[in-house]
Amino acid sequence: MKVTILFICSCLAWEGLGKPQFPDQEKDPLFWNTWAQSTLKNALTLQKLNQNTAKNLILFLGDGMGIPTVTAARILKGQLSRQSGEETQLEMDNFPFVALSKTYNTNAQVADSAGTATAFLCGVKANEGTVGVSAAAVRSQCNTTQGNEVTSILRWAKEAGKSVGIVTTTRVNHATPSAAYAHCVDREWYSDGEMPAEAVQAGCKDIARQLFENIPNIDVIMGGGRKYMFPKNQSDVEYPGEKKHFGTRIDRRNLVEEWNNRMKNKNAHYVWNKKELLSLNPNSVDYLLGLFEPGDLPYDLERNNETDPSLTEMVEVAIKILKKNPSGFYLLVEGGRIDHGHHDGKAKQALHEAVEMDRAIGHAGLMTSIYDTMTVVTADHSHMFNFGGYTPRGNTIFGLAPMLSDVDQKPFTAILYGNGPGFKVVNGLRENISTLGYEENNYKAQSSVPLNMETHGGEDVAVFAKGPMAHLLHGVHEQNYIPHVMAYAACIGQNRDHCMSSSGASSLSAALPSLTALLKLIHLLC
């Protein structure tokens, strides 16, 4: 009987949808055949591999952007443009080469953002919770730091004469960006105020301090994290009355002031809001430090458009500054709050963060060329996030499945989490979400296991690549392979022999026509 009722409800739901939610042209096989043939012709052109040397390198890192998140963000992007969404193309979808990355840490089957950042930035797999150190370092044990430091591709690029930049929607000393410059056995040692006294006494440095001391002339730094740069209890410039935003440094150092003093003769600017950022003339800025919040930047859905820059706006300014270097640049861009949205069970926040990062990817593509810029888009790990329930074409990604549960006879959303804060029982039964605002920005999607914070997922993540040597990202790889490929493409780091030989060959090839003409002229004259 229950199955019959469920079937009737499902039929009524489908009938209520009216006509199929897709264009009439999709009924014609010619539409699909033509599209496939066009895609095939484009694929055949990829046989002509781009083996140029990459002048510029850009890595877009969607923190927590697993494959289900990519798919759901694609649908959301289309639905924001009043399309059904499934057929939409993300900017990263148009990248010609795609691979899978195995994300495990050396001591963890399901990874965290610190160990993974060390892999995709330093080329070495590491333990969870540690940044910029090898797996010989033990989390929170200060005395295991020295001798186990590993360097990042950002440093390799800087040492090769390129300009380098970091742009993130999290704190600039959060797990992902910190692996680019820091060597720390605990990702949460943001300032000395978060460190154990014995670690400070033993000589370990907090991550904020390392940002300015390890690679002192990082050309562009943008994100949040102001409070970790200022003395303990110093009020924040934007939130002077809120103690939670006060400075945290026990050593009483003002790292921003120190940076300003050190860089005062170098066309350097410190900004803390959108107005100051966008008022700059990038042509007259060589170094930029932008700290827009005491902690992480707000979610894009909650962003104050007057005071907080978007990820796209930050990326635009960063590229304009970095591209002035004739030797090129390396830029790390993190859509860091995708991860935070998922941890909170707030799928709408997470997916809008992913769409904004995709917007930044597209904008960066307009400002650079595939002939001399290698761009890679990937994630550090996935989440216990998914969507399903036999939803019809065009169903809002945040909407209900077109059926009731055949166990508790209650509706459910297409988006669900395997675990997290969305678990709730009322009178011993699953909560009836039909009475809730499940399409609101901060709705916490239901989960099967109750946790205060949803966890990461352990499956492989996608790697999208375009530009010089992008074809080297193919198949299934260990995550630490990524920076080796990017360094190879740009002739930095440890793989340079091919650059010398190929550049020599290129020079000879270019000189041959002139040499032939000269020989003909000599023959005629003689």
- Give the pair of three-digit tokens for residue 150: 């590993």
Rounded Cα gap, residues 433 and 435, in angstroms: 5
Rounded Cα gap, residues 355 and 398, in angstroms: 14
Angle subtended at Cα 520 by Cα 516 and Cα 524, rounded to the nearest 5 degrees: 170
Q: So what's the pLDDT on residue 504? A: 38
Q: Which residues contact 270 (CB under 8 A, 6 or more apart)?
A: 256, 259, 260, 289, 290, 291
Rounded Cα gap, residues 29 and 64, in angstroms: 37
Contact by Cβ (8 Å): 124, 481: no
User: Residue 254, Cβ neighbours under 10 Å: how many?
Assistant: 15
Q: So what's the pLDDT on residue 5? A: 39
Rounded Cα gap, residues 384 and 451, in angstroms: 12
**From the candidates 113, 178, 191, 447, which is the catalytic residue?**
113
Rounded Cα gap, residues 84 and 22, in angstroms: 7
Q: So what's the pLDDT on residue 435? A: 87
Q: So what's the pLDDT on residue 501? A: 57
User: Residue 108, Cβ neighbours under 10 Å: how many?
Assistant: 17
Q: Which residues are annotated as a binding site?
A: 63, 174, 176, 334, 339, 343, 380-381, 456
pTM for the whole structure: 0.91
Residue 137 — φ and ψ, nearest 5°?
-85, 140
Q: Which residues are annotated as a binding site for Zn(2+)?
A: 63, 339, 343, 380-381, 456
Contact by Cβ (8 Å): 64, 342: yes
Which of 276, 301, 158 is closest to 217 using CA atoms? 158
Rounded Cα gap, residues 229 and 101, in angstroms: 34
Q: Which residues contact 464 (CB under 8 A, 6 or more apart)?
A: 92, 93, 95, 97, 98, 376, 377, 378
- Give the pair of three-digit tokens for residue 122: 């330093």
The alpha helices in 235-382, defined as continuous H runs, are 255-262, 274-278, 311-322, 337-343, 347-367
Rounded Cα gap, residues 380 and 342, in angstroms: 14
List per-residue pLDDT tens for the chain, 526 residues long.
Answer: 333 333 334 443 443 444 446 788 999 999 999 999 999 999 998 889 999 999 999 999 999 999 999 999 999 999 999 999 999 999 999 999 999 999 999 999 999 999 999 999 999 999 999 999 999 999 999 999 999 999 999 999 999 999 999 999 999 999 999 999 999 999 999 999 999 999 999 999 999 999 999 998 999 999 999 999 999 999 999 999 999 999 999 999 999 999 999 999 999 999 999 999 999 999 999 999 999 999 999 999 999 999 999 999 999 999 999 999 999 999 999 999 999 999 999 999 999 999 999 999 999 999 999 999 999 999 999 999 999 999 999 999 999 999 999 999 999 999 999 999 999 999 999 999 988 999 999 999 999 999 999 999 999 999 999 999 999 999 999 999 999 999 999 999 987 889 875 443 333 333 333 433 444 444 444 4
Q: Which residues are annotated as a binding site for Mg(2+)?
A: 63, 174, 176, 334
| Catalytic status, residue 284 | no
47-69 residues labelled b (16+ CB within 10 A) or e (exposed): eeebebbbbbbbbbbbbbbbbbb
- Give the pair of three-digit tokens for residue 201: 């006494």
Q: So what's the pLDDT on residue 514? A: 40
Q: So what's the pLDDT on residue 21? A: 66
Q: So what's the pLDDT on residue 444? A: 98
The sheet that has 385-387: what strands, in order across it?
385-387, 415-420, 447-450
Q: So what's the pLDDT on residue 47? A: 85
